[in-house]
């Protein structure tokens, strides 16, 4: 089966992005990019990115309780480097059962937020390839 998009990164909500990024850097390697205290990216050597975004008041899940199901992360996918590629990926994910959650100002943000069939958010991102 042909793929729709290339995996980009896992984004983890947390109260302290710098601290959590440093924790994971010790586990998987890499160095966190800590320019923004609310958004820290860990580039995993030979692997995907893990990004950490500040989520004030985050209530962590209580495994395996189903009644504590707030979003703990979302997935970002490379939808292409052009708007034509993004539009094609958009149509394909909709055909697979996704629904748009936020497409406002997509050209400004370079991403669109969707919900998967179970309601989990993910993004198709327009990525400039070298």
pLDDT at 68: 58
Looking at every residue in the chain, the average pLDDT score rounds to 85
The total of other beta-carbon atoms located within 10 Å of residue 112's CB is 22
Q: Which of 16, 7, 10, 19 is nearest to 72 (CA)?
A: 10
Q: What does the domain layout of the chain look like in residue ranges? A: 6-57+72-126
Reported as a single tens digit per residue, the pLDDT across 62-117 is 655 556 555 556 778 889 999 899 999 999 999 999 999 887 877 788 899 888 88
Instruction: Report the topology of domain 6-57+72-126.
Output: 2,3-Dihydroxybiphenyl 1,2-Dioxygenase; domain 1 (3.10.180)
pLDDT at 31: 93
Tokens representing 124 are: 């198709």
Q: Which of 63, 74, 79 is nearest to 6 (CA)?
A: 79
Compute the distance between CA of residue 49 and CA of residue 9 in angstroms, rounded to an integer.
5
Reported as a single tens digit per residue, the pLDDT across 16-62 is 999 999 989 998 999 999 999 999 999 988 888 999 999 888 776 66
């Amino acid at each position: 089966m042909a793929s729709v998009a290339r995996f980009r990164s896992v984004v983890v909500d947390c109260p302290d992005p710098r601290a959590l990024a440093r924790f994971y850097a010790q586990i998987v390697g890499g160095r966190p990019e800590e320019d923004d205290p609310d958004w820290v990216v860990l580039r995993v050597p030979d692997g995907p990115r893990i990004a950490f975004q500040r989520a004030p008041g985050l209530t962590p899940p209580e495994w395996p309780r189903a009644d504590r199901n707030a979003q703990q992360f979302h997935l970002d996918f490379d939808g292409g480097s052009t708007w034509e590629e993004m539009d094609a990926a958009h149509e394909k994910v909709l055909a697979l059962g996704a629904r748009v959650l936020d497409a406002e100002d997509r050209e400004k943000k370079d991403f669109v937020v969707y919900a998967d069939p179970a309601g989990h958010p993910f993004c198709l991102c327009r990525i400039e390839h070298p």
